[in-house]
Structure 1
Amino acid sequence: MPVKKRKLPDAGDHEHRCKLSSLTRPHIRPVRPMGGAKPFSSKRCLAWFHEYAGPDKVVGPEAMEKFCEDIRVEPENIIMLVLAWHLEAANMGFFTKDEWLRGMTLLQCDCTERLQSKLEDLHRELNDAAAFRNIYRYAFDFSRDKNQRSLDMDTAKSMLALLLGRTWPLFPVFHQFLEQSKYKGLNKDQWYNVLEFSRTIKPDLSNYDEDGAWPVLLDEFVEWRKSRSAS
């Protein structure tokens, strides 16, 4: 999960968080009983949060690095995006107290060890088509600058590499197309359609319908790809 060191939004960002939450309800798997272990404790969970929260009472970028080190997950690992989705975090690089308590309560994690025991479950959610679609869609609002309607191209390429780089055969070619294209960013419609394109269009593009309702961006990608193959 690429970390951007942004200022923590003020209370005026509450409307955005509510909208984000209403559109991306996390898919929570049943909690596995931990034989002989103490039950989940909200008090312990809050104390865990304060181990990382600074004066602003938020886990910011520097504390996030320490958090990742403690749970033994690289900050750029896609698991951090899945975790942020579960917490319904509104801003990349930050976990607020409310987000932490809500998400960790649902995950029943009140300490480092319990979260580590959940990492495999979080990773498996990437193989669930419905959950992955929600995570992918969540990533757009999560990673964009909140004063912009689109996702800047550098961030878009990084997030696409994180989400589709290992599973979409055409991703390296699509990445090259974005590198040389006129586009400075991706809007939400383009972002959503890239996922559908990656899931439904064959690597040889043989089933691509030029008269379909794809964004112009993808029409141009197909034309560019075919022209390169022909030459």
Structure 2
Amino acid sequence: MPVKKRKLPDADDHEQNCKITSFTRPLIRGPRPINTEKPFSSKKCLAWFHKYAAPDKVFGPEAMEKFCEDIGVEPENIIMLVLAWHLEAANMGYFTKDEWLRGMTILQCDCTERLQSKLDYLRSELNDAATFKNIYRYAFDFARDKNQRSLDMDTAKLMLALLLGRSWPLFPVFSQFLEQSKYKGLNKDQWYNVLEFSRTINPDLSNYDEDGAWPVLLDEFVEWRRSWSAS
């Protein structure tokens, strides 16, 4: 999009007025270029939803696969978790009409092409620590069986791999620990603290405080890791 040139004041007035102009009012610019992109359409957005969900009010796993194929993203890609977070989706693998319309309105996406143009933005949100923390916490309730208060271990390991597998050096070791542990799942407090642990504890565990307020799960992991290293 071309940049409009600023209209400069007369040379005689420039020195006198520039300081005042800078602090009292915005610089006068030429007219804004006309935005030729069509505005967001709720009607078009709902028609897009019903392409996958019709005649139901929800589209499920099979429709989700087709949706992912259309936007060019694997269902297991973390971008799909970020999208679900924006939609405030309650159940993994499902989008309701209300979730879809609310989230897509915020994202201003009413068709495949517009969502594709936002994929880099969705991925970039993972680089913001506060946003990532929100997405990580959201993942617990999103992925768990709603009849259970904890996240079953198989699902927990998959979600941890998706969220922390590439960024946490200790993740492979932690995953091995979970494999051989007595735990059948992770509760919310354990889930939240794993992220905090991954962000604050050195890979060699040298700054781990055994008297800190960590869940027993993480105390046991540190003990297991140290004994495993010693042997």
Who wins on radius of gyration, i.e. which is larger?
2
SS at match of 1:198: helix
> Which residues in structure 2 correspond to 1:43-192 (within 5 Å)?
43-192=43-192
Count of residue pairs the alignment pairs up:
199
SS at match of 1:109: coil
1:146 counterpart letter in structure 2: K
SS at match of 2:118: helix
Point out 4+ residue stretches in structure 1 off by more than 2 angstroms.
none
2:123 counterpart letter in structure 1: H
Residue deviations 1:150-170 (CA, integer Å, cap 9, x gap): 000000000000000000000
SS at match of 2:106: helix
How far residue 55 of structure 1 moved from its aligned partner, in angstroms, is: 3.5
Indicate whether 1:202 and 2:191 are aligned. no
How big is the alpha-carbon RMSD for the aligned residues of Structure 1 and Structure 2? 1.2
How far residue 56 of structure 1 moved from its aligned partner, in angstroms, is: 2.7
**Residue 50 and residue 34 in structure 1: after superposition, are their counterparts in 2 closer, same or farther (change >3 A)?**
farther
Indicate whether 1:41 and 2:56 are aligned. no
Mark the runs of 5 or more structure 2 residues left unpaired by the alignment.
1-32
Q: TM-score, normalised by structure 1?
A: 0.85
2:149 counterpart letter in structure 1: R
Corresponding residue of 2:30: none
SS at match of 1:51: helix
How far residue 54 of structure 1 moved from its aligned partner, in angstroms, is: 3.7
Q: TM-score, normalised by structure 2?
A: 0.85
How far residue 179 of structure 1 moved from its aligned partner, in angstroms, is: 0.4
Higher relative contact order structure (alpha carbons within 8 Å, sequence separation ≥ 6): 1
**Residue 161 and residue 34 in structure 1: after superposition, are their counterparts in 2 closer, same or farther (change >3 A)?**
farther
SS at match of 1:45: helix
How far residue 37 of structure 1 moved from its aligned partner, in angstroms, is: 1.3
What is the alpha-carbon distance in structure 2 between the residues aligned to residue 54 and residue 46 of structure 1? Answer: 10
Corresponding residue of 1:228: 228
SS at match of 2:53: coil
What is the alpha-carbon distance in structure 2 between the residues aligned to residue 121 and residue 99 of structure 1? Answer: 20
What is the alpha-carbon distance in structure 1 between the residues aligned to residue 128 and residue 183 of structure 2? Answer: 31
